[in-house]
Structure 1
Amino acid sequence: MSDAHALALSVVTDPALDAAVLRSLLERSPDMIMLSEFSGAVVHVNPVGLTLLGLAALPAAGVTTAEVFTTRGLEVAGDVEAALRTVGHWQGRTELRHFGTDVGVPVALSTFVVRRSRGTPDLIATIIRDRTHGHRRDADLVAAARSALRSAAEHRALAELSGLAVSADMPSLLVAATSTAATVVGVESAAIARSVEDAGTLRFDAVTRELRPDVVIAAGTGSLSGYALAHHEATVCVDTREESRFDVSAMNLMGYRSGAAVPITTGAGQWGALIVFGTEPSVVGEGELTFLSAVAGVLSGALERVDLDRRLHRRSMHDPLTGLPNRALVYEAIDSALADENGSVALLLLDVDDFKIINDSLGHDAGDRALVRFARRLVTATRPEDMVARLGGDEFLIVCSGVEDASHAERLAAHVLTALATTSTLDGAPTPVSASMGVAVSERDSTRRELLRRADLAMYRAKDTGAGGYAVFDPDDLYDADRVRTLSVDLRGALARDELSLHYQPVVDVGTGRIVAVEALARWTHPSLGPIAPSEFVAVAERTGLTTPLGEWSLGSACRQVVQWRRFCDVSVRVNISGLQLRDPAFPARVAATLRETGALPGEVGLEITETVWLADTGRVAANLSALRDLGVALLLDDVGKGYNSLSYLERFPVFESFKIDKAYIDAVSTPRGRAVVSAIVLLAKAYDVTVVGEGVETLEQWEALAAAGCDLVQGFLLGRPADVARTTALLHEQAAGPV
């Protein structure tokens, strides 16, 4: 006997029925007895059953209940599974499979759940009678068949109700539930009882038969439903003439002799009760109560779903960080506002200024907290009727309805920016106080998409004019957008056709006056528009996803050129790389591949990194910097002093061998304070064994001040403007031919 069989026998608690007796009953039973798990795996079949199946023993690989029955026999599987889940048993007729002949064997089946102790899983026991030659045995199952029909009807009703619970609205579901309860149980009326807050009474919803309007249903012990709700349990009234637990006067007035009430609960507590009434005593027995409890369970599940849907919908329509409406909800608000003819709609699109500095220097958690504080301040800076939403990242949108005209929108924008600029800190925590804003005001036929596009174009113009300002959409913005789109397409083509060029600016040793390196600077002459300023096409590349292709082209071109110069001089080339490249896990491998393909030596190449952008992903960036240093390329920190943590970078990431002092400090070197600041920067850099470059040198006075401060290298118009390959090559030839 299998372990599962022995465990099944252990559920019997009568000491007279020991294992030997039960084993004998199983082995000698004239009917097939099968034990299976809820997964469908058959764990035991007695000898009669094996014969009925045409087997000598259960297959070593195992067999499932689905394999034991024919396709026709499995037609009742749904009813069987539903009955086992809800009431724990099922009886009826089906068809068994004979494994030897694969012919169906008509059988009568009685199956039920065997509850087991000691925490072991329950089993399903099935008693199966062969109906092929045992017609007399069918008479014994007639009563069970009638019960099965009722059970099947209940399960079908529950299945239909469960289907409605998924798709129908709650009022429709409540009506269907009470109608189902009244029909299946066979009573005169069913209803949903709900407590009336602070009134001490109940109200009935979804009633299947109109109740007398003058009847008041009291809560607590004042009624059947009140009692069930107060005691949190299903309650049956067999006969009002014998009931003493609660007041039955309301039932008597309505002409009812019996009834039952089953609480409907949710995660938040009791929601109400399903109640049925009958005009005769004892209309609700144990089976009917089980069915009513199942109906109440369906309603409980539906209520939980509605509550979950409500919470999920709210969550899906709100930003999880700030709690503000998100893009989906604010878009609905814009559409609604545009449909309202009461005034115009203004969109105020904000992008937080310099948020990247907070995020990069203090970390993403600090950045998130700063955004939350900014969102709160933004809400307080707007009118009560305005909607403030977070679109993502550090971008926010304010929807202002009932705006009179563009001047009115401008006043609103100015008020918001002024309120944000007011100094406000919380325990010294950083909070953005400046944002660039684009303003767009609707016209008669404006669409949401067009209005958002106009606000976006205006915002980019506001950012171009400086932090903390706003710009109202102007038709010229459309021209600017078209230009960006055109330049983006043409730049992509120019990169593919190698139509850009590099100019090179000398980097000079202060002590010797010799050119020791050149900085590679991209230049583009458009075939119809002429020369495009680097600031413009680099900005286009950043906005349209061409930053990485542009950077890779620059690096490859510079590496090929330094190989040519190697023939007659010893000079290195420095190439600017973008934050996107630096955060790309594959970037070091691409640099290594470029060096191999061009023949450039690592020591001939330096990568310049702007200090205000490179720390957006500290972990990834640090790993890439280490990998680049291991390749042997020089790493240079550009624009030092423009941000806030330049020298701390040198402490945390000791991979840089040189950095450039920002031009703003060079411009101020003519003053005593300016010279002192530059000297301090140089001294600190020397402590880290870092070479210092002064960039933007335009006067001899600046040169001399940097030399006096101990600056190693200088770069600027005084030493040479950026020049094309031919002129730079000639300059290097001239230096190589001169005295050493």
Structure 2
Amino acid sequence: MAAATRILVADDEPTARLLMAAALEKAGFEVAVAVDGDDALRQFRAQPSALVMLDVDMPGRNGYELCAILRREFGDELPIVMVTAMDDNESIERAYEYGATDFIPKPINWSLIGHRVKYLLRASDALRELHAANARNAALLRAIPDLLFEVDVDGRYLSCHSSRKDLLVAPGESLIGRTIDDVLPPEAARICMAALHEANEAGLVTGRQFELMLASGAFWFELSVSRKSAEPGQKPTFVVLARNITERKAAEQKIYELAFFDSLTHLPNRQSFLERLAQDIRVAQREKQKLAVLFMDLDGFKGVNDTMGHDAGDLILQSAAERLRNSIRPGDSASRLAEDGAQVGLARLGGDEFTAVIPGITHEEDALRVANRIREQMRTPFVLAGSEVVLTSSIGIAVFPHDGADAATLLKHADTAMYHAKSCGRDNCQFYSAALTQRAQQRLTLENNLRQALERGEFDLVYQPQIDVASGRIRSVEALIRWNHPAGGVIAPQDFIPLAEENGLIVPIGEWALRTAATDAARWQDGGRVCVAVNLSPVQLRAADLVPTLVDILRETGLAPGLLELEVTEGALMEEREATHATLEALLAGGVQLALDDFGTGYSSLGYLKRVPLSNLKIDQSFVHGLPHDRENLAIVRTILALAKNLGFRTTAEGVETAEQATTLAGIGCDALQGFYFSRPLPAGAIPALLQRRWRLDETDPGGG
């Protein structure tokens, strides 16, 4: 059973106290009585009551004074009732001034006093709950980070709340009575008023966003607008919640940039470029215009990335992107080719591949003009850590609608044209043609077949003798690889070796060639000592496992290391000099001989000759051709022979096809000769029969036909 509500009655008249207590107890209350003001204050402080009834006229502290003390000490929510025979207006007003909740004049209607007190307590409870609700609402408002406004249908501010004053365009109190159009910038005001009108029709609207420049910077807000209930004939009013979404917008922008922009160069990425290109194609179709796609690749970038590191490569890519921007900077005629002023769009697809779309061109030459500007920019040396790095660019161009009707096709054809530009000598620009696609398809088919050729045993080695001038006998043979394609017949090395070097297949193919040549050479030794020369690709030379692989091959085949000569090119020696030199030293230490192939056709930097452990210089056939009548070639060959002699190298001349060439080369001091004059490349089984043969340089047909 719930305890009775406690009422404190203070009156100096015993009869009045008794009657009041009886009436209240009858109504179900617990009653405490006090004989004067001091007694009442002491009792309340000791045990507070739910309601206090005070006689005004008491000895000592009167009812007014006690009311003021209780109100001051225990707050505004305590119900205090003044009971007095004085019912004049002045007494009543005075009671309320001192903080009374109600005023009951004497004589008292005892039958109704209990109901009066119950009403006062219910009112007090309701007030207490209202205060609690207000406190909760205030706490909620303080906790809400959003701006909260009440406005009418005209956008006039009726109230304003914000826990962050820095998010208000003006102090909150100054907004009241002003309209949204008065306060906000035109675009923000337009969005807000549109949301109000929509909420007036639908009751609720969310998601409208706008940007606002405030004293502390730029902020983004998202609106939620709800129409309040209104009496008929009254103007609609609205609750407007404006949420600060600045961080969310920044995160969305970051996600957008990650999805559509290259993080290194800040250029659009492939996805963004394809979307832009598709949009430009739709415009070109509608306006019956042309557009061009440029596909650019940096010549020599891979070498820089491999030798100087990825950090250096990234710096070059960033500089290249900036040069691209400069090539088509706004205001430049090269960047405003379309009549409607549409700008050239750039992108980085990945690696060192960049693209550009040029909308609204009139002639194909317009695209060529932009490409030439880009190539000119890329020729300027890049500066890395104080050193200059010289790169060039190869660019392919595809034109809509002739070279493709959709974004993917145009990009693919521009890519194909770029590879054609590279094959034409680099620092080049080429337009797409259907023949390029046919060649690219053939190349792709060849690559796919090449991957299976080793497994299917489609490779063969043939050997071309190298004749020792002094003895007329075979000093060594050069191993030459052939691909016996089941459908295409015999494919020459120059047609598939570059492709194998690009896709990495040259490593397993080269290992097969080394193993096969060593096996054949070991078998020949019974018929006479003969060395076998095998070409070594730059890719193989860079492989970390080259030396241990070669050691395993020599051990497995039983070939003496001194009977294996590895032929490398000048280009291979110039790449990654320290690593290359270490590999060559390791090979030489293992007893393998080293020859420099096609000498004079590469970098022609003679300084490396004294640092690289070579044993043989091979004179390229381009210098042998025309001898003995070509005086310039003869002078070059004499110079090479003199250089080799001074450095202690043997020499072998390639491409000897006539007796005059053979006798001339022998006469000026060449050590060995190789070419069709002596023998065409032969299968391994034909070599033993030639090991005891002696060639005379003046024979009419020493090669036997």
Aligned counterparts of 2:683 and 2:614: Cα–Cα separation in 1:
28
| Contact 1:370/1:430 (8 A) holds in 2 | no
CA distance in 1, matches of 2:621, 2:407: 44
1:194-213 alignment runs, 5 A limit: 207-210=148-151
The CA deviation at 1:519 is: 1.3
Find out whether 1:185 has 2:139 as its counterpart.
yes
Structure-2 change in CA distance of 1:351 and 1:188 (3 Å): closer
Task: Give the direction of change, closer, same or farther, for the CA distance of 1:314–1:252 in structure 2 (3 Å limit).
Answer: closer
Contact 1:374 1:431 in 2 (8 A): no
2:354 pairs, out of 396, 400, 424, with 396
Given that residues 357 and 612 in structure 1 are in contact (C-alpha distance below 8 angstroms), is that contact kept between their aligned partners in structure 2?
Answer: no
> Match of 1:606, SS?
strand
Could you say which residue in structure 2 is the equivalent of 1:99? none
Q: Does residue 550 in structure 1 map to residue 498 in structure 2?
A: no
Q: 1:519 to 1:365 in 2, by over 3 A?
A: farther
Displacement, 1:344?
A: 4.5
Question: Residues 56-455 of structure 1 correspond to what in structure 2 (within 5 A)?
Answer: 185-187=139-141, 207-210=148-151, 250=174, 303=246, 306-307=249-250, 310-311=253-254, 314=257, 317-319=260-262, 324-340=267-283, 341=285, 342=287, 343-353=289-299, 378-381=324-327, 383-384=334-335, 385-403=343-361, 408-409=363-364, 411-413=366-368, 416-417=371-372, 420=375, 424=380, 429-433=388-392, 435=394, 437=396, 439=398, 441-442=400-401, 446-455=405-414
Cα drift, residue 550 of structure 1: 1.9
Match of 1:528 among 487, 507, 514: 487
Shift of 1:737: 14
CA deviation string 1:301-356 (max 9, x = no partner): x8557546645754675556655444343333333334443434432223444566
Residue type at the aligned position of 2:174: A
Distance 1:441 1:190, change over 3 A: same
1:713 paired with 2:672, answer yes
* 1:605 pairs with 2:561: no
**8 Å CA contact 1:191, 1:207 repeated in 2:** no
Whole-angstrom CA distance in 2 between matches of 1:370 and 1:273: 37
Q: Indicate if the aligned counterparts of 1:324 and 1:389 stay in contact, CA closer than 8 A.
A: yes
Tell me the TM-score normalized by structure 2.
0.57
Cα RMSD between the aligned structures?
4.8
Amino acid at match of 1:401: P
Q: Which one-letter code corresponds to 2:347 in the other structure?
A: A
Is contact 2:547–2:586 with CA below 8 Å preserved after alignment? Answer: yes
- Aligned in 2, Cα 1:309/1:696: closer, same or farther, shift over 3 Å? farther
Distance 2:477 2:534 in 1: 9
Distance in 2, matches of 1:588 and 1:394, equals: 32
Q: Which residue of 1 aligns with 2:618?
A: 660
What residue ranges of structure 2 are gaps of 5+ in the alignment? 1-131, 179-214, 222-241, 329-333, 336-342, 698-705
Relative to structure 1, the CA distance from residue 336 to residue 706 in structure 2 (aligned partners, 3 Å threshold; closer, same or farther) is farther
Shift of 1:592: 2.1
Check whether the contact 2:157–2:176 (CA below 8 A) recurs between aligned residues: no
What's the secondary structure of 2:532's corresponding residue? strand
Q: How does 1:465-476 map to 2 (within 5 A)?
A: 465-476=424-435
CA contact 1:361–1:645 (8 Å) conserved in 2: no
Contact 1:190 1:209 in 2 (8 A): no
Using the TM superposition, give the Cα deviation of residue 586 of structure 1 relative to its aligned residue in structure 2, in angstroms.
2.2
Aligned partners of 1:349, 1:431: CA distance in 2, in Å? 20
Residue aligning to 1:647: 606
Q: 1:718 to 1:544 in 2, by over 3 A?
A: same
Q: Assess if the C-alpha contact under 8 Å between 1:370 and 1:431 holds in 2.
A: no
Structure 2: distance between partners of 1:684 and 1:736: 27
Letter in 2 for 1:391: L
Would you say the 8 A contact 2:588–2:613 is kept in 1?
yes
Any idea what SS the aligned residue of 1:337 has?
helix
Give the equivalent residue in structure 2 for 1:519. Answer: 478
Please point out which of 585, 588, 595 is paired with 2:547: 588
Question: 2:600 and 2:311 mapped to 1: Cα distance?
Answer: 25
- What is the distance in 2 between the residues matched to 1:458 and 1:272? 47
8 Å contact kept, 1:360–1:616: no
Q: 1:251 to 1:618 in 2, by over 3 A?
A: same
Cross-structure match for 1:109: none
* Structure 1 gaps, min length 5: 1-149, 151-180, 193-205, 218-222, 231-245, 255-267, 275-295
Residues in 2 aligned to 1:596 and 1:464: alpha-carbon distance in whole angstroms: 40
Residue type of the alignment partner of 1:349 = F
Displacement of 1:365 in angstroms is 7.4
CA contact (8 A) 1:548 1:580 kept: yes
The separation in 2 between residues aligned to 1:615 and 1:356, in whole angstroms, is: 15
Q: What letter corresponds to residue 139 of structure 2 in structure 1?
A: V
What is the CA-CA distance between 1:520 and the residue it aligns to?
Answer: 0.9
The Cα shift of 1:411 comes to 5.0
Give SS of 1:566's match. Answer: helix
> In structure 1, what is the Cα distance between the partners aligned to 2:583 and 2:396?
35
Evaluate the alpha carbon distance shift between residue 699 and residue 184 of structure 1 in structure 2; reply closer, same or farther with a 3 A threshold: farther
Distance 2:582 2:465 in 1: 30
Deviation at 1:561, TM superposition (A): 0.9
Q: Looking at CA atoms only, which structure, 1 or 2, has the larger radius of gyration?
A: 2
Question: Alpha carbons of 1:354 and 1:701: their partners in 2 closer, same or farther (altered >3 Å)?
Answer: farther
Q: Which amino acid aligns with 1:553?
A: W
TM-score (norm 1): 0.54
Structure 1 residues 734 and 393: CA distance shift in structure 2, 3 A: farther
Deviation at 1:566, TM superposition (A): 0.9
From the superposition, tell whether residues 499 and 726 of structure 1 become closer, same or farther in structure 2 (CA, over 3 Å): same
